Amino acid sequence: MKPKIVFSEKCLEYGSHHIESPERVRKAYLTLRERGYEFTEPKPAEEEDLLRVHDVSYLRLLKEGSIEDPDTPAYPNIYEYARLAAGGAVLAAEINGFSLMRPPGHHAGRHGAALGAYTRGFCYINNIAVAVKHLDRPTLILDIDGHHGNGTQEIMLGDPKVIYISLHRYPLYPGTGLYSEANCYNYLLDADCGEKIYITTLKKALEKVDLRRVEVVAVSAGFDTFTGDLASLGLNEKSFEEIGKILASLNKPTFFVLEGGYIGENVGRAIDALLKNFDT
């Protein structure tokens, strides 16, 4: 059976004029519905789960809407939307599914902006970090978004239960992830490098991981690496199917959380390709 898609139409209610818009997720949802996926509704993340990841003072500012960030606006009720997206990630982790929720999360650090970035890059709560801390099992986080997950690295750096791997384009926002340190491994790629280089790099990265230490694989699933998107690495549907084959071959419980990807019709097709080799 195909992995379930975690989705709520509530995540389409805000931010219609932003590049991180409802349309990118709406189009992906329609594609996946047409292709026969089953959907399940998330509940908002518990505050105790959020506090494992974020500082209480930052969450208070988020609740109040007292944040100033040109990339990540203080939309009305944004704390509740972000909390629901984090809950989507938690549910995906529990059922080995795919959370098709927004806002994304991997740029959000403990106090908001992370590792020297001036903005939170469309992110409010670090969804995948919340899910991983909720599971509390030895986990490999693989970030395939075209931007470095600076918030995830900040939160997970030095965590003995987590290995973090990011393949990202450089130079590009947020300008971090230039080198590996401790349990965080970063791989820099040139714009439009293409599938062959990407897959070779992914295999090289995974070869360095002691999979005996890993019980769960958590994927920050960004699709802005698709040709023509915001962080294009020259990938296409076939590329994501190859990525999925590699991840499925690890034979570990695996869940996925949506990050970037701003051409909605491509996002849906890429998700379908990525999940083809998974059976729950």
Question: Over the chain, what is the mean pLDDT?
Answer: 97
Residue 193 lies inside a defined structural domain of this protein: yes
What pLDDT does 167 receive? 98
Question: In what side-by-side order are the strands of the sheet with 254-258?
Answer: 39-40, 5-6, 98-99, 254-258, 216-221, 139-143, 162-169, 184-189
What pLDDT does 68 receive? 84
Residue 241 lies inside a defined structural domain of this protein: yes
Give the chain's domain count: 1
What pLDDT does 21 receive? 96
Write out pLDDT tens, residues 150-208. Answer: 999 999 999 999 999 999 999 999 999 999 999 999 999 999 999 999 999 999 999 99
- Does 115 score more than 90 pLDDT? no
- Does 139 score more than 90 pLDDT? yes
pTM: 0.98
pLDDT bin (cut points 50, 70, 90) of residue 38 is very high
Residue 184 lies inside a defined structural domain of this protein: yes
Residues whose CB is less than 8 angstroms from the CB of residue 178 and which lie 6 or more positions away in sequence, other chains included: 170, 186, 188
Residue 280 lies inside a defined structural domain of this protein: no
pLDDT bin (cut points 50, 70, 90) of residue 29 is very high
What pLDDT does 280 receive? 72
Residue 90 lies inside a defined structural domain of this protein: yes
Residue 44 lies inside a defined structural domain of this protein: yes
Write out pLDDT tens, residues 210-227. Answer: 999 999 999 999 999 999
Residue 92 lies inside a defined structural domain of this protein: yes
- Does 117 score more than 90 pLDDT? no
For residue 54, indicate whether it is catalytic: no
Q: What is the mean pLDDT of residues 110-122?
A: 87
Q: What is the mean pLDDT of residues 97-114?
A: 96
Catalytic position from the list 107, 134, 148, 168: 107
What pLDDT does 279 receive? 84
User: Which CATH number is 71's domain given?
Assistant: 3.40.800.20
What pLDDT does 3 receive? 98
What pLDDT does 89 receive? 99
Contact at 8 Å (CB) between 25 and 102?
yes
| Domain hosting residue 132, numbered range | 5-275
- Does 116 score more than 80 pLDDT? no
